[in-house]
Amino acid sequence: MATTMRDQAARTTLALLACATLGVAGCSSGSGKSKDKDNAAPIVRDTGAQDGAALPTVNMPDLTGKDLAAATAAVKAAGFTDVGYRDALNQNRKPVADKSWKVCTQSPAPGPSNPREKVDLAAVTAKETCSGAPTSVPPVKTADPTRITISPTKSSTATRPNPTGTKPDPRPSDRPTFVFYRNCREVKKAGAAPIHRGDPGYGLHLDMDGDGVGCER
């Protein structure tokens, strides 16, 4: 009888110990889950891309060949605010936004662009091309006219109109028999103006009206 009572007491004690052990484990498990929940990182929702918000767009005009003053005004009228200039020939010059400089290249290119982008304009002076060559070639200085004299083998007498009605000088002329003048300026410089048909150096390019007398004026 005593043995039976001791066995029941032992079973009761084991049951109580088992319940106590299970209760502590359950509390520990619940506490850990609560702590993990409290330490979880917050979830941030990126609304910009999901909402489909588009970047602003304006039309960038074609500025190639325009002077910097007109190009700058066109860029600002399109909505751009940040404009920069640089020397297209990389000569460390600082372009000025006026008519003395012109645009060679631009960034961004013509077409739809974001007005928040910086506009970069590469320019040269108005007297230059974008390749660096001058736009106008300086005039070439011509050499002084050269007279070519050929001694004739036979003397010949040439007649010419005499508008004044005076008799021609019968004396032979001391002028060379073959002279070439490019223009009336050379004729006057040689003291041979006006020059008549038959005179050394006379040519139709000097007698524009064809009356036989050239370089009259």
38-69: per-residue pLDDT in tens?
A: 554 444 444 444 455 677 899 999 999 999 99
Q: Which residue has the higher pLDDT, 148 or 34?
A: 148
User: pLDDT tens for residues 8-21?
Assistant: 766 777 777 665 66
Give dist(CA 179, CA 184) in Å, integer: 13
| pLDDT for residue 208 | 85
pLDDT tens-place string over residues 151-206: 666 554 555 655 555 655 555 555 556 788 899 999 999 988 898 998 998 888 88
Q: What is the pLDDT of residues 90-127, one digit of tens each?
A: 999 999 999 999 999 999 999 999 999 999 999 999 99
Whether 151 contacts 92, CB under 8 Å: no
Give the Cα separation of 107 and 118 in Å (integer).
8
Domain ranges of the chain: 58-125, 145-154+173-217
- Per the CB < 8 A criterion, the answer to whether 121 and 60 are in contact is no
CATH of 58-125, one of 3.30.499, 3.30.2310, 3.40.50, 3.30.10: 3.30.10
Count CA within 13 A, CB hemisphere, residue 72: 16
- Whether the pLDDT of residue 30 is over 60: the answer is no
Q: Does 26 have pLDDT greater than 50?
A: no
Q: How far is CA 147 from CA 173, 179, 182, 205, in A?
A: 17, 6, 10, 17
pLDDT value, residue 51: 52
Sign of CA dihedral 102, 104, 106, 112: positive
Written as six digits, the tokens of 20 are 């106590």
Q: Which two tokens stand for residue 200?
A: 């050394």
**Cα angle: 41, vertex 46, 49; to 5 degrees:** 160
pLDDT for 206: 87
Q: How confident is the model at residue 147, as a pLDDT?
A: 65
Cα distance between residue 53 and residue 56, in whole Å: 9
Q: Per DSSP, which regions of the chain are E strands?
A: 58-60, 83-87, 101-107, 111-113, 119-125, 195-196, 213-214
Query: Where is 78: in which H helix or E strand?
Result: helix 68-78
118: helix, strand or coil: coil
